[in-house]
């Protein structure tokens, strides 16, 4: 099986030992505590689940700046984005060496992790601007990722953490949320050797389904892990439970047995385009995938990124040898009326625009909201039915 990034075995920060977990929960109640941001909570969940292996906790400003500027921490370790705990007020923890981090996304703000505080630093405006522009490719406050990153505060608290909860992800998505450790175990149990990973924050239409099958055929994979984001999205995106139901229906009806695993991870979407694509590849290697699909405008939003910037970053900016996972570079996929099947548009040079079934996301949402199913060339009818029910429910 493919090795994790930076170590021979996964080193998740979640405390699985029952006695130690109980002891830390008891200790946490007497520690100075702070409610962290949703982004910092997502970082804790990813650290706990082994996805950010071999990181042990939140970065210092120096390490975060190194990751932003050249994807390397001060010791030379590779990581594609800063992993920070940014706070707007540190009065309650200013002189503490050990603190409890509380969950902003669960009622009552229960303890999420216990942290050994190595430093509390103030991020300068210049440093914030540098990190924002390098990671997100823009400092536009209208960019949802930029707004979330810059809205957290300017105190960076760094140090290793022991994670005690997977926030709401385990309780709200018991059939879908999986740690990197659990996915590796499942891959081993299934006997898969070559594994394609597919990232999604949306329901999967025909083009996504066929793209997974194309990638599996191209690399002779044993299976595909459809790995969906379960955290916070921008307004207008379809909620995780609806996506989950639609994807499960598609996999059940249209994939051969024992070729697809449907899982999810607990993290808020960054919408950071190319940089987020590298992060996605990083933690897919940690969960055991050997190949990762990156298509057109991967992890993008609006018009901030070029159509294939998320592919070229692996050739131009990712340090050589940093990742072992292989990238399957996909073009825009669409249903060909000429060939009566979904194709990658680059593989059909004799086609004109009229030869494809092309629908914008806006048009599809309009159709679903009006109770109209998109054409079967675009969306499987069983998937469309689930989405129509959702859009009708929010009218």
Residues noted as catalytic: 201-202
Q: Which of 362, 203, 202, 208 is nearest to 269 (CA)?
A: 202
Lay out the sheet containing 223-229: strands in order across: 260-265, 223-229, 195-200, 291-294, 326-329
User: How far apart are alpha carbons 210 and 333 in whole angstroms?
Assistant: 8
CB environment 85-94: b (16+ within 10 A), e (fewer): bbbeebeebe
Contact 335, 356 (CB under 8 A): yes
Nearest CA to 322 out of 77, 9, 70, 46 is that of 77
3-state helix, strand, coil in the chain (%, to 5): 35, 20, 45
Contacts of 236 (CB under 8 A, 6+ apart): none
For residue 339, how many other CB atoms are within 10 A of its CB?
12
CA-based end-to-end distance of the chain: 47
What token pair was written down for 164? 């005690």
- What backbone phi and psi angles, to 5 degrees, belong to 8? -80, -30
With CA atoms as reference, report the closest residue to 90 among 139, 26, 46, 40. 40
DSSP 34-103: EEPPHHHHHHHHHHHTTTTTT--EEPPHHHHHHHHHHSB-TTS-B-SS----EES--GGGTT-SEEEEE-
Q: CA-CA distance, 320 to 237, in Å (whole number)? A: 35
Looking at residue 357, the DSSP 8-state letter turns out to be: E
Alpha carbon distance 266, 168 (integer Å): 9
């Amino acid at each position: 099986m493919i090795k994790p990034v930076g170590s021979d075995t996964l080193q998740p920060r979640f405390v699985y030992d029952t006695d130690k977990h109980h002891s830390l929960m008891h200790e946490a109640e007497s520690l100075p505590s702070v409610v962290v941001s949703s982004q910092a909570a997502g970082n804790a969940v990813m650290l706990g689940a082994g996805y950010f292996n071999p990181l042990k906790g939140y970065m210092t400003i120096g390490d975060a700046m190194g990751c932003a500027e050249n994807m390397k921490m001060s010791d030379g370790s590779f990581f594609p984005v800063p992993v920070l705990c940014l706070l707007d007020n540190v009065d309650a923890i200013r002189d503490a060496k050990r603190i409890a981090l509380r969950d902003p996304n669960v009622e009552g703000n229960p303890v999420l992790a216990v942290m050994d505080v190595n430093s509390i630093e103030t991020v300068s405006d210049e440093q914030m601007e540098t990190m924002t522009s390098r990671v997100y490719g823009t400092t536009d406050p209208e960019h949802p990722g930029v707004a979330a990153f810059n809205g957290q505060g300017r105190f960076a608290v760094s140090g290793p953490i022991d994670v005690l909860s997977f926030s709401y992800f385990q309780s709200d998505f018991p059939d879908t949320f999986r740690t990197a450790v659990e996915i590796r175990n499942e891959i081993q149990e299934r006997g898969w050797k070559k594994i394609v990973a597919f990232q999604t924050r949306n329901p999967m239409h025909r083009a996504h389904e066929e793209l997974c099958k194309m990638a599996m055929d191209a690399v002779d994979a044993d299976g595909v892990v459809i790995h969906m984001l379960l955290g916070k999205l921008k307004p207008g995106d379809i909620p995780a439970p609806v996506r989950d139901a639609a994807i499960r229906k598609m996999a059940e009806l249209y994939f051969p047995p024992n070729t697809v695993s449907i899982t999810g991870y607990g993290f808020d979407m960054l919408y950071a385009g190319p940089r987020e694509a590298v992060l996605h590849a990083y933690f897919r290697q940690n969960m055991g995938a050997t190949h990762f699909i990156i298509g057109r405008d991967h992890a993008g939003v609006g018009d901030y990124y070029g159509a294939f910037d998320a592919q070229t970053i692996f050739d131009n900016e990712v340090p050589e040898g940093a990742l072992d996972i292989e990238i399957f570079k996909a073009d825009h996929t669409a249903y060909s009326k000429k060939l009566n099947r979904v194709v990658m548009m680059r593989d059909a040079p004799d086609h004109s625009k009229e030869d494809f079934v092309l629908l914008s996301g806006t048009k599809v949402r309009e159709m679903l909201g009006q109770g109209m199913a998109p054409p079967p060339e675009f969306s499987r009818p069983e998937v469309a039915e689930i989405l129509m029910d959702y859009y009708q429910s929010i009218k």
